[in-house]
Amino acid sequence: MSPIILFDGDCLFCHASVHWIAVRDRKAAFRFASQQSAVGRALLERGNMPAGDTVVLIEDGCYYVKSDAVLRIGRRLAWPWKGLAAAGFLVPRPFRDFVYDQIAVRRHRLIRRQNRCPLPLPELRARFLDELPR
């Protein structure tokens, strides 16, 4: 099963992050779902995860959040992100998660130029989940 990224569908920064990841995901390995969508809510419930202000990566049946999710996503991207992610795992999780939390608190202020999310291009839209994976 393809790894799935669950993101905050109400956050412009999160939408921009999904687009950024998709551009660098040369193998188109990731699938995406908003945490607010029916699929996203069902996947969160399946993993006994609360909906929240963090990215969730589902990979090989395991759920990862915060910096662990970000670094695991980075490991599947093209160079140099793969190398940076590997180096990031050398940093202790409490410090990584602290940095993640600081960005998360400010994420709504990080993108100010627009007040709504643009529709994804068709090739990216095809990677969004419309139903639960089996």
CA-based max dimension of the chain: 39
How far apart (Å, rounded) are the C-alpha atoms in residues 74 and 84?
8
CB 31 within 8 A of CB 121: no
CA atoms within 13 A on the CB side of 101: 6
pLDDT at 91: 98
pLDDT at 106: 83
| Other beta carbons less than 10 A from residue 17's beta carbon | 20
Domain CATH for 19: 3.40.30
- Establish if 26 belongs to a structural domain: yes
pLDDT at 11: 83
- Establish if 133 belongs to a structural domain: no
pLDDT at 111: 55
- Establish if 125 belongs to a structural domain: no
80: helix, coil or strand?
coil
pLDDT at 110: 58
Residue 36 DSSP symbol: T
| Other beta carbons less than 10 A from residue 49's beta carbon | 16
pLDDT at 116: 54
pLDDT of the chain along its 134 residues, tens only?
899 999 998 888 888 899 999 999 999 999 999 999 999 999 999 999 988 778 999 999 999 999 999 999 999 998 999 999 999 999 999 999 999 999 888 876 655 555 555 556 667 777 888 777 76
What is the number of structural domains in the chain? 1
- Establish if 128 belongs to a structural domain: no
Domain that holds residue 9: 4-115
